[in-house]
Amino acid sequence: MTSPADDLARVTSLAALIGANDTESVIAATMPSLSDGERAALARYTSFTHAAVLIFPTSLDGLPETLAEHGIKVGAMTPSVVVRGRLAARYAVPAARLEVGILRARVTDRTGQPCELEIFAMATPAELAHIAADERLRGWENHFALAVTPPDPVLLGGLRATIAAHLEPDGGGYNGHEDTSVFYFRARRRAGSPFRRLELTCTGRFAHPLAAHHRESVPGTGLLRLLTGAWATQAIATAAELRLPDHLATTTDLPGLAAATGTDQESLGRLLRYLTALGLVQPSAAHHELTPMGALLRSDVEGSMRSLALMYGGPFYHAFAALTEAIRTGEESYAKVFGAHHFAHLAADPDLAGLFHQSMAASNIMFSEVARTVDFSTARVVVDVAGGNGDLLSRVLAANPGVRGALLERPHALTAAESTLAPVADRCTLIAGDFTQAVPTDGDVYLLSRVLHDWDDAQCRTILATCARDMPAHAELLIIERLLPEARETDSLAVPWDIHMLCNTGGRERTESHYRALLAEAGFALVAVQPLPLDAYVLCARRT
C-alpha cells in the first residue's frame, strides 16, 4: 500500500483542526447566518463528533498500519455507503468499481470532549487517478459533523430544516453497517475554508427526513416546484369557480361532488389529489374534507378568500403573463393586456369591480389589529382616503363609538361600501371625489390603506402633498402597507407583491426608509411603525 505525502499531511492537519474546535465553533463557522436562537438550539441538541477527509491510497490493504507509523491510530475499517455513492454519481463511475472504506481515530476537541478523526479512503488504481486529482483539488468530501441527540424524528426533522435554511442539502443516506442516517449540507457559496460542508448524523433509520433531504438535494426539484406555481394558482381558481369548497361542506364523496359541480368524476378526482398536495383538502377513506386553509375558499365563511382566488386566477393571472414586457419597459402589463389601466378597466365593468372589492376585503385580516394598535380615543373624525369598500373604517368606528367617519372614494366604490358601513351609517359620511385633488379638511386621523403602493413615486408625492395641504395641522396620517425588507432578506410577502404591483397597477412596494423619504418631501415626519398581520405595517406620520 502507498499513500501520497499530501494525503498524510491532510490527515495530520485535520487532527489539529479538530483540536482547535468544539460544537459551538463548528456551528458558527459553517453557518454564520444563524440567529442566536437557532445557534443555541443546534448547540443544545447536537454535538461535534468528527471531522472528515478523503484520501486516495493505491490500495486499502495495510492502510491502518501505514497511518499508525505516522502516529495516527485507527480502528477497524468499515465500508462506506454514502460517500461511495456520491463519488460514483459525481464521476459517472459504477459504484461497484469503487472501493471506499472508513477509518476512525480517537481525538479530543478543544474543550477536551471525545471526538473522532474520520478518514474516508478510496483505493485508487491508475484508471481512477483523475478522481483523486479532482477531489484533492476541490475537497468535496471534507466536512465537519454534528450528531443529533437524542435520536428523535421530530427533533431531527426540525434541526435538518433549520440547517437547510442556511446551507444547501447535499445528499446523504442510510448507512446500514452503522445504523446511522446521514445528511450532508454545503455552503451556498464557495468559501475560503476547505471545510465548507456539514454532516448531520442520527442513530437509526429515518425514512421521511431522508426522502425530503434527497428531494431538496436535487436543485431541479425545487425549481420545478416554483415553475408549477401557475398551475397551483389555476387549480385553486378552478376549485373556487366550481364552488368545490362550498360543496365539500356538505358532500364529501367523489361521485356526489362530481354531480354537484357538474364535472367529470375522474378529472375532479385528479384535481382533488392536487388540492390535497397543496394542503387545501385532506382525504379520509373514500371521502374528502377541507383543511382550515382550504375552508377559506368557501364563499360563506368569515374572511373568505374565494374572490381573491378568482382575481388571481383571472385578470391578475393574465396580466402576469406579460411580465416580461413590464420588466423591459417599467410599465404595467395590465393595461397592455386589457387595453386600459387597472382602475379604469375595473370602473368600466361593474361585475369585475365588485369582484375586485370583494378580493380586497379577503385580505382585510390585516385590519383586525389596527383598532387595537392605534389609539383613536382623542379623535373626533377619522377620514378614510380611497378606502375601498370601507371595511377598515367600519372596524375603526365599531371599536370607537364616539368617533365619526368619512369615506372618500370613487362613485362605484362607494356603492360597494354602503352595505359594509351600514352598521355605522349614522356616524359615517360617504364622499365621492378624487383623492389626488383634495381630501376633507375636518379630520383628526387620515387613513391611507393600501393606496400608495398602487402608484409610482411621482403620484405618491402628489397624494401626500394633497394630504399635507388639506389636513389640519394637528391631524395624524396613518399609512397601511407592506414593507420591503431594508436588507437583502426576501422572506416577506412584500417581495412578490412588489412584482404584482408592477404588473397590475404600475405601482410598487417600498421600504420603510423609502416611505420616510416620500413623507419628508411632503412635509411629514414618520413617528412610529407597528406590525400588522399578513406582513403589513401601520406607519404613523405627523406634519412637521
Quote the Cα angle for 189-195-199, to 5°: 95
182/200 Cα distance (integer angstroms): 6
Closest alpha carbon to 396 in 363, 426, 373? 373
C-beta separation of 291 from 283 below 8 A: no
115/415 Cα distance (integer angstroms): 73
C-alpha cell at 76: 477497524
C-beta separation of 248 from 257 below 8 A: yes
Q: Is 137 helix (H, G, I), strand (E, B) or coil?
A: helix
Instruction: For residue 463, give the DSSP letter.
Output: H
User: What residues does 174 pair with on adjacent strands?
Assistant: 181
Provide CB contacts within 8 A for 239, sequence distance 6+: 245, 271, 275, 280, 297, 309
C-alpha cell at 440: 376633507
Instruction: For residue 192, give the DSSP letter.
Output: S
Whose grid coordinates read 369557480? 241
Q: Is 79 helix (H, G, I), strand (E, B) or coil?
A: strand
109/121 Cα distance (integer angstroms): 23
Instruction: For residue 32, give the DSSP letter.
Output: T
Dihedral sign for Cα 15, 21, 26, 30, please. Answer: negative
Provide CB contacts within 8 A for 34, sequence distance 6+: 27, 28, 42, 166
Instruction: For residue 331, give the DSSP letter.
Output: S
Active site positions, annotated: 453
In single-letter form, the type of residue at position 149 comes to T
- The radius of gyration computed from the CA coordinates of the chain, to the nearest angstrom, equals 31
C-beta separation of 532 from 538 below 8 A: yes
Quote the Cα angle for 244-248-254, to 5°: 85
How many alpha carbons fall within 13 Å on the CB side of residue 446?
Answer: 30
Q: Where are the alpha helices (DSSP H) in 20-56?
A: 23-30, 36-45
Instruction: For residue 320, give the DSSP letter.
Output: H
Q: Is 171 helix (H, G, I), strand (E, B) or coil?
A: strand
User: What residues does 55 pair with on adjacent strands?
Assistant: 121
The rounded Cα 422 to chain-centroid distance in angstroms is 39
67/58 Cα distance (integer angstroms): 14
